[in-house]
Structure 1
Amino acid sequence: MSSVDVLADIEKHADAILRVCSYHRRDFDLVVVRSRPHDMRPVQASLQTAFETLPTAELGILGRLPAELMSMVLRELHVRSFFRFRQVNRRARVVSTGLWEYGLVSKHGLEGLRGLLRAELAHLFTIDDLYRSLITDKCLTCGGFGGLLFLFTAGRCCFDCLQSSAHYRVLPPSAFTKLTHISPGRLKRLSGPTLRTVPGIYNMMETPARRPRYLIFEEKATQTLQAIRAIGEDTIQHLRSRREQLGQRFMAATAYPCCSLNNAKLERGVSCKGCQAGLEVLRCDSDDRDRVFSTRGFLSHFSQCVEAQQLWTESEGGTRPVNEPELTRHCGYFNELGPDGLPA
């Protein structure tokens, strides 16, 4: 296809090009903190609605605040306190449910909410923190599409940065104690928040992972301890040279979609079928097949990807099935999935 034809097709057939040439890497979602859909259905409706019975009690002195000020107060409550407020009475339930930011987070960012609560980090972040992460799609480290939420910071990251960037290093408190020679009690007081891990897969091979009970955010802990001169530069270098346990970073992240305020469209990120096809044909190592794009980012990539354009040509404008790689047909996951979309 000529460059002019490609650009014309992108403008005219964007949705069909996405359907034919891209796919969502579900294996990336499955190796981080994840909820089974059937576990969330019973509570999802209650999180997004108030009681049908009209409230009779008021909120005391809080009820005297103008609606704008009340909304400001609710936005500044950390997640755990926000949910406690929702349980005060029916009036509190109505007021909190009506908060725009909460409505969006409870509908589209449920994994982030549940992830923070399960990790025992919900007291560190507000509904507004989760809302701001929900309406942006940028990885805070590389600027590419970030389909994950790093629970220690409630900030977006991409799968590649989560695996490779030193910023996301985590380790069990016992390992930190051994490497720094700081007593467990002192470490608990000084190192910052600890994340409580929850059961999950946490590796692409689906083998049982050694899961410590708690994890420490290494960057935050070292900064805090260095500031009070509890550790020196030599100790920090020793920590950084430590070999990490496979999968522990995945225990500190969860899948988090992006919600566009312009068109209310939800994006979870897509990868390129053409790059996977090219990798299988060329039989060479390539990072392109693991890249995740926003819709706009993928269409820009499509304009340069010869293999994706070949798939589009084969589909005859999206009207015929294409001979795509087995991995893309299974969305990056080969083993059988159960009815809830998780491994059987």
Structure 2
Amino acid sequence: MAKMSSIDVLANVEKHADAVLRVCSYHRRDFDLVVVRSRPHDMQPVQASLQAAFETLPTAELGILDRLPAELMSMVLRELDIRSFFHFRQVNRRARVLSTRLWEYELVSKHGLEGLRGLLRAELAHCFAIDDLYQPLITDKCSTCGAFGGLLFLFTAERCCFDCLQSSAHYRVLPPSTFARLAHISPSRLKRLSGPSLRTVPGIYNMMETPARRPKYLVFEEKATQTLLAIGAIGEDAIRNLRSWREQSGQRFMAATAYPCYSLENAKLERGVSCKGCQVRLELLRGDSDNRDQAFSTQGFLSNFSQCVETQRLWAESEGGTRPVNEPELTRRCGYFNQLGSDGLPA
């Protein structure tokens, strides 16, 4: 099939955007499973309570806090770290009402629950406020490369893409024992000076979809080295040792979770889509496909559609989205073949 003209492509995108997405794109579920993840049935019992106050009206007050204007009270809640925010939320019904109706919390508890729960499980919730999860929720850009980022790096609560998480030196993590040995510092001193560690949780953490060995804790290498170097606790030889160390595969995945983005303009939630045509080019045509592992926003995918001949061929084969297409098994299964949950047990 000859490549569609720019006019034809534009007409198809504008007229059939939803159908083009349905036929030619897919969400890489394996990207979600390889990082920190909660089972849906584990979330359901708490989800409603996180997103709503009690049905009965408050009968107790909050003492001197009730003297604050509503705007100032909201400012106070925004400044609380997440752990303290939930402690306040449990004080009484009045506290629960005030915290529940905070705009940023409303969106995070509804759409960013994996990030919220990820920080709590990683024992990092005391390091961030609700706004630290709200800001990445309303943007879709990877903080490192600017492409669509479907993940949240838990050490910094910043949005990142799958490629940067795997390849950028910024996201290097190490077990404390390994860091201490390479940096020639005692584990106890490292723990005291380097900042909070991340507690790992059970998961898959590799594309083979088998349970991975994991350390109990991880250290954020960049932050730890900057802090220790600034106070003279380590020297340049330690930096060289750390940079030359080959990380264990999958440990970066233990410090990230899938995080959708919410558009304030159209009130839509996006989890990112990948291009079926790029997988066709790689798998069936044995061609190069730099975009195979890239996730796109809706608009980003539609722009990619105009450049990908194989995607246009799939769209033509579907006859306007009315017929099934011959696609690779990987895209049909959304990159997911195993039947294990995130903890290595049957889902």
The offset of 1:282, in angstroms, is: 2.8
Shift of 1:193: 1.2
Q: Which of 16, 19, 32 is 1:13 aligned to?
A: 16
**Alpha-carbon distance, 1:53 to partner:** 1.0
| 1:269 pairs with 2:272 | yes
Distance 2:63 2:78 in 1: 19
Residue 15 of structure 1, CA deviation: 0.7
1:343 Cα shift? Answer: 5.3
Amino acid at match of 1:136: T
The alpha carbon displacement at 1:337 in A equals: 6.4
Give the Cα separation in 2 of the matches to 1:204 and 1:246.
10
Q: How does 1:20-39 map to 2 (within 5 A)?
A: 20-39=23-42
Instruction: Choose the corresponding residue for 2:53, options 23, 43, 50.
Output: 50
The 3 A distance-change label for structure 1 pair 51 and 343 is: same
Count residues with an aligned counterpart.
Answer: 341
Aligned-partner residue type, residue 95 of structure 1: L
CA contact (8 A) 2:209 2:338 kept: no
TM-score, scaled to structure 1: 0.97
* TM-score for the superposition, normalised by structure 2: 0.96
1:1-344 alignment to 2 at 5 Å? 1-284=4-287, 286-336=289-339, 344=347
Letter in 1 for 2:157: A
Share of identical aligned residues, percent? 85
Name the SS for the 1:288 alignment partner: coil
Q: Which runs of 4+ in 1 moved over 6 A?
A: none
Structure 2 unaligned residues grouped into runs of 5+: none
Distance 1:81 1:337 in 2: 34
Helix, strand or coil: the match of 2:245? coil
Measured against aligned partners, the alpha-carbon deviations of 1:52-77 in whole angstroms (never above 9, x if no partner) come to 11101111111111111111111111
Contact 2:281 2:287 in 1 (8 A): no
Residue 33 of structure 1 deviates from its aligned partner by 0.3
Question: Does the Cα contact within 8 Å between 1:30 and 1:202 map onto a contact in 2?
Answer: yes
Distance in 1, Cα, partners of 2:340 & 2:313: 30
Contact 1:335–1:343 under 8 Å retained in 2:
no
Letter in 1 for 2:188: G
Q: Secondary structure at the match of 1:139?
A: coil
Shift of 1:105: 0.3
Contiguous gaps of at least 5 residues in structure 1: none
**Deviation readout 1:271-322 (Å, 9 max, x if unpaired):** 0000001111232453321110000100000011100000001111111111
Contact 1:274 1:308 in 2 (8 A): yes
Amino acid at match of 1:235: A
CA contact (8 A) 2:138 2:262 kept: yes
Distance (Å, rounded) in 1 between the aligned partners of 2:127 and 2:340: 35
CA RMSD of aligned residues (A): 1.2
- Would you say the 8 A contact 1:55–1:91 is kept in 2? yes
- Measured in 2, the distance between the counterparts of 1:56 and 1:185 equals 48
